[in-house]
Structure 1
Amino acid sequence: MEKGKHMVMQFHSLLNRDEDIFVNRIAESFETPQHSHDFIEINYVAEGRGFHYIDEELIAAEKGDVFVLPVGTAHVFRPTAVSPKEPIVIYNCVFQPHTLADWAEAIPMPMRIFEYLSPAKGGAPAAWMKTTDRSGDFHLLFTGMYAEYIRKADGYRTMLCGKLLELLGILDRRLFGTEETRWQDPLFEEILNIIHMRCGESQFTIGELTESLNVTSGYVQRMFRRYFGVTFLAYLQNARIERSCRLLRETSFKVAYIAELCGYQDLKFFYRIFKRKTGSTPHQYRLKHRRS
């Protein structure tokens, strides 16, 4: 793909004139040409793996990767093969720079990401950036934005604006923060990343984790005792309950479905452990913390 040999996508071609934010979900193929655009785009790899061509770079892309593409960045995602066993599925959130400028006049903005995405007129365009979803926050935000955009229920534009601001705040911390926790053992940081990505899988166990990373269960247990003072299972349960709390606050999903999304097949067990860790039932928690 030669530089300059790409189409330019226009923001107004994607959505209605009264909308400021566009969100979609797509399984990538070889049909989409490399393209640039007159808007800002944030990509989240929701499933699978493949490749991301950005300008003249080729970057491996897999589940959990987040790409921030300023105006003018030429890119395209590709699966690993014409008919891959594991297709690469992407969420895209796009908006224009003037949207951020309009917001900055009325509400506090995460300034480092705002300045990065809104370069001075005539200045050099910003370079693309990448991070990884270590906590599951990006997954919840993108699935929530997509649901709002597709359903278009009353107040969906307000909900989209709120979720985009939260997304920008997390990106500001992740990409520009100087106090991000860094573990002494990089392998243990990878273990934490995997747990937060897969804690919603009911069959996820310490055995599967250790086998995939070629480490012993003793090592994993020692690391959790060292850094958190708990066992692997206790940390996994906490991660699952934290995810369920967020879903109770931010969605209208039924409690049984939330339990399933958080790795619990036994609803009675979910109720019992949720009450033990939060002091209330899921229904009580939702009523107390539901966002207006």
Structure 2
Amino acid sequence: MKSAIELFRSETFLNNNLKLFVNRCSENFDAPFHAHDFVEYCYVAEGKGFHHIGEDVIPVHKGMLFVIPIGIPHVFRPSSPNLSVTPLIIYNCLFNAELTSTLSTIIQEQAICDHLKQLELNQMPYVHVVDHTQQIEEIMIRLYKESSLLDTGSSTMLFTLVSQLVVMTYRQYQQDYKQKHSNTDDFEHVLRYLDHHIHERIRLRDLVRISSWSEKHLGRLFLKHTGQTFGSYLQYLRIQKSCELLKSSQHNVSLIAELVGYRDVDTFYAVFKRITGTTPHMYRKSYTSD
């Protein structure tokens, strides 16, 4: 998903002494694809949908948290246009370099301070973690309530809560990184196989043959390492590859659908629209227009 990228500036949101903004909002299809000159922590509180971030499209659900560095474009989209039935609710916590400097005097660990600095300088990709224990959700709720009250001592409370948010997210990020990179070589082989055979009909039993794992165990590994079922991961991989071809080639849409493994172009159109929020033709047009 790429269209004109709007820039959200600090002075629009961070116009208080704390240089901090916290809100709770229902996402829709009107918000623009945007970047900003502040760091943003986004927590999925309710519903399902998709997070378009950089070149990635990530299905989201309750408990997922994203940390968006300065300069990284993104936007959330709900899974359904019927917002009254399936709303996508996000908590946002925004702060800029001024608050980062303050946090660096509170947070004692140099590694976490360096992490904040990298976010501020756009020296690392976005961060994505899952709040398995609901501890991050609790911090987000308290942040939102405290920022709404602004009572005596609120500044101290908010600085403390933001510090907790940063530390808890960093801890989860490190744990996920270690788990992901421990004994994953064999599963990486499975992912490479999918990448190289995306044009073919691929079933889970085909992966049993190349991995010597059972279908049940493979299903667990897909959830563990990708956060998706095998079917969902394969579908999103096909659409990701089709986006690359739409940008880099002059192939017609029917051929691209075939190159990424779809034998029925109508199915390809339906899946592409559901995942990206637009049609293949409009997706390509947005790039050629840019």
Amino acid at match of 2:138: L
Instruction: Give the structure-2-normalised TM-score.
Output: 0.57
1:125 pairs with 2:123: yes
Q: In structure 1, how many angstroms separate the alpha carbons of the residues matched to 2:33 and 2:141? A: 25
Q: Which amino acid aligns with 1:95?
A: F
In structure 2, how many angstroms separate the alpha carbons of the residues matched to 1:118 and 1:175?
A: 16
The reply on whether 1:96 has 2:101 as its aligned counterpart is: no
Distance in 1, matches of 2:93 and 2:133, equals 19
Shift of residue 181, structure 1, vs aligned partner = 8.4
Query: Equivalent residue for 2:7?
Result: 8
State the distance in 2 between where 1:22 and 1:103 align.
15
Partner of 1:159: 157
Aligned length in residues: 180
Paired amino acid for 1:13: T
- The residue aligned with 2:47 is 48
2:107 and 2:65 map into 1 onto residues whose CA distance is 24
Shift of 1:25: 0.2
Residue 191 of structure 2 is aligned to residue 168 of structure 1: no
Secondary structure of the residue aligned to 1:119 is: helix
User: Aligned letter for 2:99?
Assistant: T
Contact 2:8 2:34 (C-alpha < 8 Å) held by counterparts: yes
- Are the counterparts in 1 of residues 70 and 122 from structure 2 also a CA contact under 8 Å? no
1:18 deviates by: 1.3
Alpha-carbon distance change, 65 to 2 in structure 1, aligned in 2, over 3 angstroms? same
Q: Retained in 1: the 8 A contact 2:42–2:92?
A: yes
Query: Given that residues 174 and 180 in structure 1 are in contact (C-alpha distance below 8 angstroms), is that contact kept between their aligned partners in structure 2?
Result: no
Structure 1 length-normalised TM? 0.57
**Match of 2:118, SS?**
coil
What residue number does 1:78 align with? 77
Kept in 1, the 8 Å contact 2:38–2:70? The answer is yes
- In the other structure, the counterpart of 1:38 is 37
For residue 133 of structure 1, what is the amino acid of its counterpart? D
Q: Cα distance, 1:112 vs. partner?
A: 2.8
Letter of the structure 2 residue corresponding to residue 8 of structure 1: L
> Are 2:104 and 1:109 equivalent residues in the alignment?
no
Q: Which structure shows the higher helix fraction?
A: 2
Identical aligned residues as a percent: 31
Amino acid of the residue matched to residue 134 of structure 1?
H
Partner of residue 137, structure 1: 135
Q: Offset of 1:154 from its aligned partner?
A: 1.3
- Counterparts of 2:50 and 2:10, CA distance in 1: 24
> Which residue number in structure 2 is paired with residue 192 of structure 1?
none
The 1:25/1:172 distance shift into structure 2, 3 A limit, reads: same
Q: Write the distance in 2 (CA, Å) between the matches of 1:71 and 1:127.
A: 10
Kindly indicate whether the alpha-carbon contact (under 8 Å) linking 2:51 and 2:76 is maintained by their aligned counterparts in 1: yes
Contact 2:69 2:119 in 1 (8 A): no
Q: Show structure 1 runs of 5+ residues with no match.
A: 183-292
Does the CA-based 8 Å contact 1:117-1:126 persist in structure 2? no
Deviation at 1:177, TM superposition (A): 4.3
Residue 78 of structure 1: CA displacement?
0.4
| Aligned residues of 1:51 and 1:77 also touching (Cα < 8 A) | yes
Q: For the structure 1 residues 178 and 149, does the alpha-carbon distance in structure 2 shift closer, same or farther, using more than 3 Å as the test?
A: closer
Q: 1:28 to 1:144 in 2, by over 3 A?
A: same
Counterparts of 1:93 and 1:116 in 2: how far apart (Å)?
A: 17
Q: Are 1:40 and 1:69, in contact at CA under 8 Å, matched by a contact in 2?
A: yes
Relative contact order, CA 8 A, sep 6+: which one is greater? 2
Secondary structure of residue in 1 paired with 2:45: strand
- Per the TM alignment, residue 116 of structure 1 is displaced from its structure 2 partner at its CA by 2.5
